[in-house]
Amino acid sequence: MQLSSSQAMGTFQTNNPGHVEAFPVWKLYGPGDSFSAVRLSDGRSFEYEWAIPAGEVITIDTRSKRVTDSAGENMYEGLGFAPELFSVPPGQASITAELTNTTSESLVTMDFLPRREFLF
């Protein structure tokens, strides 16, 4: 993601080569004040509203619906009202993400494992 002195933000395309939805794991590397992500095809979104100190990493696992800090502590309460921890559909999808009040140390990553459907 593009980093500036005040925010890391952008719209990016994902390509899920799998047959079914995949569940991303987001990592937010502080410092930052708040984070938001939106799947543009349907507007599903979530926010992490708590400040993230420098050196801290917040992990948001959309499959398990767990939100943890670097020590593994539960940080789910940092999510905004009615979070929709969305999946990535098969094929291409556009997602917008923003981390505010960043520095050059700040980073946002999103990874997922494509899933395949097999019939036996």
Residue 51 lies in a domain: yes
Assess if residue 21 is contained within a domain: yes
Q: Is the pTM here over 0.85, yes or no?
A: yes
> Looking at residue 7, what is its pLDDT?
61
On the question of a cis peptide bond just before residue 114, with omega within 30 degrees of 0, the verdict is: no
**117 belongs to a structural domain:** no
Any idea what the CATH number is for the domain that residue 48 is in?
A: 2.60.120.860
Q: pLDDT tens across 38-57, in order?
A: 999 999 999 999 999 999 99
The answer to whether 2 and 25 have CB atoms below 8 angstroms apart is no
The count of structural domains within the chain is 1
- Angle, alpha carbons 7-90-42 (nearest 5°): 55
Residue 120 counted as domain residue: no
77 found inside a domain: yes
Domain span at 94:
2-111
